[in-house]
C-alpha cells in the first residue's frame, strides 16, 4: 500500500495525517517487521475508529473503505481536479498522470486485507468492507453528500479500468465541482492558527419557497435576481428588510435549496467577521460556482464601524467585485445603521460640523444594495392562512377551522404578535401537545 500511494502524482497530497497515509505507514512497518504486532493492532484500530467517525459524519454504508477512497477522489483539490471543475476533461499530457493515479486508486479499491488480518488475528477490515450502518436522522449528516459519495464509490467498483474511472471522476468534477464547495450547499468561516477556513454547514433546513405562504411578489423579485445570477447574467446585491418573523431568512434558506444543483453556494458571515470579507472573496473568485455571501439580521449601532468594510467590498474599493459573488442580507432596518434625531440637524450646536454628511454616510450602505425587498407583517386573515397551511402538515392536529383560528389568535396575543414565525411556533406547540 505504501509503495502504491508514493507513486501518486496529481493526488499525492492526501495529507500526512489522513487515514490512508497512516494506514500506509502501518503497512510499511508490517512488511518490514519493524514494529511489534500488538503496536500495529493498536494503530490499526485507531484508524478504523477514525474511519467509522467519518462514515457517521457522511452517512457511508456497505463498503466504508470504498466510500472513503471515493471521498478522497472527489474532495482532493489539485491542478487537474480544479481545471476539470471549470472546463471539464480536455486533451493534454496531464491526463496521462491522471489515468496513472486512477489506476492506483483502482488497485486500492481491490486491496486484499486478508493477509494482515490473518497474521495479526483481527477482522476489522473485513467488517468495514461489509458494513451495515444504523439508520440516522438527516440532521446527523448531509444526505446529498452521502449519496454522491456512495454513487461514485459504486461506479468505481464496477469500472473495468482507469479509463472508465477517468470518465467517472471528470464527469463528476464538471457536474458538481471538487472539494467541499462541490459537495456542500452552505458554509461558515473561522480563523484557525490565523488562517481563514471554510466550514461546511451540513444540516441546512430543507425548506422551499413554496413553503413560505404569501409574499409572492417578494419571492418573485428574489428568484428573478437569483436566476439571473446563476445563469451568468447581470444581477444585484439584495437587501431583504421588514418586520421580524416574516420570512426573510426563510427565503434565503429556500434559495439555497432551489439553486444548489445549478451551482449556487452560500457563505454565512457575521458582523464581527467583515474584516475577512476581502479574504473570502479572494478565495472563491476563481471557482466555478456562484456564491452568495449571506448576512443575517444586519444592523449597526452608531459606535460600530464594521459597515465600512462592507461598503468597500460591495462598491467603492479598488478591486472589482467578481461576477460570481453577490451579497444578500436580511435586516429589520431599512437603512441598516441606527439614526438619531440629531443626525437630521444640519449643524451641531457649535456650528462647525455638518450633520448632513452623517446622514449620507449612514444611508450610503443601504443604497449599495441594488435590489431591496420589503417583508411586511401579515394581516389577520393572512396569518390564519399561514396557520392553516402549517397545520395541514400535521394530521394529528384535529381542530375545526374556527377552533384553530381562535387558538391562533390567543397565541399571537401573548407571543409577540402576528407573524409567520409566531404561526410556526403555534403549530409546533399544537403538534407537540398531540403527541
Residue 227's pLDDT band (boundaries 50, 70, 90)?
A: very high
Whether 70 contacts 153, CB under 8 Å: yes
Q: Is the pLDDT of residue 158 over 60?
A: yes
pLDDT of residue 57: 82
Between CA 126 and CA 410 the distance in angstroms is 60
User: How far apart are the C-alpha atoms of 376 and 370, rounded to whole Å?
Assistant: 20
- Residue ranges of domains in the chain: 2-176, 200-375, 380-434
pLDDT of residue 341: 43
pLDDT confidence of residue 354: 47
Note the pLDDT of residue 302: 61
Question: Does the pLDDT value for residue 92 go beyond 90?
Answer: no
Say what the pLDDT of residue 352 is.
Answer: 45
pLDDT of residue 222: 95
d(C-alpha 246, C-alpha 418), whole Å? 9
Element (H, E) at 173: helix 162-176
d(CA 87, CA 170): 10
Residue 77 burial by Cβ neighbours in a 10 Å radius (0-12, 13-18, 19+): middle
Full-model pTM: 0.76
The yes/no answer on whether domain 200-375 falls in CATH 3.40.50.2300 is: no
- 317-338 residue pLDDT tens: 545 678 899 999 888 766 555 5
Range among 47-51, 292-296, 352-356, 419-423 rated most confident: 47-51
- pLDDT at position 155 is 96
Q: Are strands 238-242 and 264-268 parallel, antiparallel or unpaired?
A: unpaired
Going by pLDDT thresholds of 50, 70 and 90, the confidence category of residue 307 is low
pLDDT top residue among 269 and 336: 269
Question: How far apart are the two ends of the chain, measured CA to CA in Å?
Answer: 54
Mean pLDDT in residue range 232-259: 90
Confirm if 74 and 149 have CB atoms less than 8 A apart. Answer: yes
Q: Which residue has the higher pLDDT, 174 or 141?
A: 174
**What grid cell was written down for 335?**
437603512
Residue 132 predicted with pLDDT over 60:
yes
Amino acid at each position: 500500500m505504501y509503495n502504491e500511494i508514493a507513486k501518486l502524482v496529481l493526488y499525492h497530497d492526501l495529507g500526512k495525517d489522513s487515514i490512508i497515509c497512516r494506514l500506509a505507514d502501518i503497512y510499511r512497518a508490517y512488511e518490514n517487521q519493524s514494529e511489534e504486532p500488538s503496536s500495529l493492532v493498536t494503530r490499526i484500530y485507531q484508524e478504523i475508529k477514525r474511519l467509522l467517525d467519518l462514515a457517521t459524519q457522511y452517512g457511508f454504508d456497505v463498503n466504508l473503505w470504498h466510500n472513503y477512497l471515493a471521498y478522497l477522489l472527489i474532495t482532493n483539490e489539485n491542478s487537474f481536479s480544479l481545471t476539470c471543475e471549470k472546463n471539464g476533461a480536455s486533451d493534454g499530457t496531464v491526463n496521462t498522470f491522471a489515468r496513472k493515479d486512477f489506476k492506483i486508486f483502482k488497485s486500492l479499491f481491490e486491496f486484499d486485507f486478508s493477509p494482515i488480518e490473518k497474521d495479526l488475528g483481527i477482522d476489522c477490515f473485513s467488517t468495514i468492507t461489509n458494513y451495515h450502518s444504523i439508520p440516522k436522522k438527516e440532521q446527523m449528516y448531509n444526505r446529498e453528500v452521502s449519496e454522491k459519495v456512495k454513487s461514485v464509490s459504486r461506479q468505481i467498483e464496477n469500472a473495468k479500468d482507469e479509463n472508465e474511472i477517468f470518465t467517472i471522476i471528470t464527469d463528476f468534477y464538471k457536474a458538481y465541482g471538487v472539494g467541499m464547495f462541490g459537495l456542500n450547499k452552505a458554509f461558515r468561516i473561522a480563523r484557525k492558527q490565523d488562517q481563514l477556513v471554510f466550514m461546511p454547514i451540513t444540516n441546512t433546513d430543507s425548506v422551499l419557497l413554496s413553503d413560505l405562504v404569501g409574499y409572492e411578489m417578494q419571492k418573485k423579485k428574489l428568484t428573478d435576481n437569483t436566476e439571473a445570477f446563476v445563469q451568468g447574467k447581470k444581477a444585484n446585491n439584495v437587501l431583504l428588510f421588514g418586520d421580524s418573523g416574516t420570512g426573510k431568512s426563510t427565503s434565503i434558506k429556500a434559495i439555497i435549496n432551489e439553486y444548489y444543483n445549478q451551482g449556487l453556494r452560500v457563505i454565512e458571515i457575521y458582523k464581527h467577521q467583515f474584516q475577512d470579507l476581502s479574504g473570502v472573496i479572494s478565495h472563491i473568485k476563481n471557482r466555478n460556482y456562484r456564491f452568495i455571501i449571506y448576512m443575517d439580521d444586519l444592523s449597526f449601532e452608531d459606535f460600530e464601524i464594521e459597515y465600512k468594510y462592507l461598503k468597500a467590498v460591495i462598491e467603492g474599493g479598488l478591486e472589482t467585485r467578481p461576477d460570481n459573488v453577490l451579497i444578500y442580507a436580511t435586516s429589520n432596518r431599512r437603512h441598516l445603521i441606527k439614526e438619531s434625531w440629531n443626525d437630521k440637524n444640519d449643524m451641531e450646536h457649535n456650528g462647525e460640523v455638518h450633520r448632513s454628511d452623517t446622514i449620507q454616510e449612514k444611508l450610503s450602505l443601504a443604497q449599495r444594495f441594488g435590489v431591496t425587498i420589503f417583508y411586511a407583517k401579515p394581516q389577520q386573515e393572512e396569518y390564519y392562512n399561514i396557520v392553516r397551511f402549517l397545520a395541514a402538515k400535521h394530521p394529528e392536529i384535529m381542530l375545526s377551522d374556527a377552533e384553530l383560528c381562535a387558538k391562533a389568535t390567543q397565541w399571537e396575543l401573548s407571543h409577540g404578535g402576528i407573524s409567520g414565525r409566531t404561526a410556526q411556533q403555534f403549530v409546533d406547540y399544537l403538534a407537540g401537545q398531540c403527541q
